[in-house]
Amino acid sequence: MGYTVEDIGRIVDQQRAYFRKGETLDVKWRIAQLKRLKKGVMAYERAFEEALQQDLGRSAVEGYLCDIVPTITEINETIRGLRRWARPECHFSGLMCFPSMVTKVYKMPYGVTLIISPFNFPILLTLGVLTASLAGGNTAVIKTSGKSKACTAVLKQFIAEYFPPEYVTLIDGGHDVADMCLAQRFDKIFYTGSPAVGKHVLAAAAQHLTPVALELGGETGNWCVVRKDADLKDAARKVAFFKLCNAGQICININQVAVAEEVADVFVRELKAAFVKQIGENALANEAYPKLITEAAYNRCAALAEQYKSRIVMGGVGERTQRRYAPTILYPIGIEEPIVQQELFCPLLPIVPFKDADVDWLMNIIAEREHPLAMYLFTRNRRWARRVMRSQQYGGGCINEVCIHLMVKGVPFNGTGHSGMGAYHGEWGFREFTHPSTVLMGSTRFNLPLREHPYTGKAGEKKLKMLRMFGR
């Protein structure tokens, strides 16, 4: 259906009226809604898998691995932890507050939230964020991507079946509809997508001083660094798996690999072998290989490959009608070339050689660029790797592994700067969708006149003396 500004305004007003009734404040009630959400996800598993195949060419295995089971895991973790997370904190007020010695911190919902989700993981990055919003006691308006049409259609049916519109509503449409949503006064906005659109979301939110969480990909992409002492076969196997996943359309995917030139040729050879072992000699003929989301995305990928065709050492071919483009290795690529200063979001993989002795120079170059959402290091030198991970600015990452830091329970996920702000997953998502309210429990007895006038004369001198004692 088509929406107008008035339509969306009525949806927001309806949700705000519902929120003010206070029903969402009860933690037991929230848990019941999360259980309902989980029940719905499990009932819609097959429909979600089919929609993911239609939009992105994902196999049932990849769809379940990357979208459905992480969503269920996120809901399970939230159900188990919510009572503890939502419990008010009790603090000692301090002698300065005598005789009011008890202070509570309540974890309060923001109210009406807007979730703007992307096309690349349309189930996980919609329902995973919704889990955090509902856990916090909010209502939610969801704006899904206009690119993943099949997934949006199934999600819209799912939400309408399991939740009333005054609690959760899904709105479909393009950028014009997203702008209509952003024109409304929401209490919290969570956006997943590109840094360019993230700036637009922030600007719109600023009109209402609405707090925002952004999960972005990083403008200059995520780096993988392979040093000369790395296990090259292991690194190649993991890099190949990750680049094949969703045809590279992942915000934490490897954008480019910096490889010590002493082992670069060997690594490229191992990487080719890993791609062939996992997807076959002809990736385009493999039905399990995903496709790019739109013709425009395919055209951009093909055009970039054409620019670097003289350095394609594997791949470089596609099937336009199916929107499939083969995993493509570009080698060698200089660190200052344009292709490694942009987020690719496709199956192209530039390989950037560097002298292993100059690895600190390499890390300085990476640090000078926009902060990535993820960083991956392959080396046997754990001491160096830990030092890098403690000193660089990035969202999250792995040492001798790729992507699975995303699956660890109890830890935050998101970026910094151009790769995002805020954090979520588990308790961190609950925190993102609540704000702490501090309430001092005042006493009506034994109140001292320390804070009251007079501030002059002997009384003032005594008060100042006591205050100085407290201030030490």
- Backbone dihedral angles phi then psi of residue 313, each to the nearest 5 degrees: -110, -5
Residue with tokens 């991507």: 145
Of 374, 389, 366, 379, the closest CA to residue 419 belongs to: 374
Residues 310, 316, 321, 324: is their CA dihedral positive or negative? negative
Residue with tokens 């997953």: 425
- The token duo for 126 is 């919609």
- The token duo for 382 is 């754990």
Give the containing element (helix H, strand E) for 466. Answer: helix 457-470
The whole-angstrom separation of Cα 222 and Cα 211 is 26
The whole-angstrom separation of Cα 275 and Cα 281 is 8
Catalytic (active-site) positions: 215, 251
Q: Is the peptide bond before 332 cis (omega within 30 degrees of 0)?
A: yes
The whole-angstrom separation of Cα 175 and Cα 239 is 33
The rounded Cα 386 to chain-centroid distance in angstroms is 23
Q: Is 143 exposed, middle or buried (0-12, 13-18, 19+ CB in 10 A)?
A: buried
- The token duo for 423 is 């954090």
Of 189, 54, 6, the closest CA to residue 115 belongs to: 189
Single-letter code of the amino acid located at 458: K
* Cβ-Cβ contacts under 8 Å for 205 (sequence gap 6 or more): 182, 186, 189, 211, 212
Of 51, 82, 70, the closest CA to residue 155 belongs to: 51
The whole-angstrom separation of Cα 383 and Cα 393 is 18
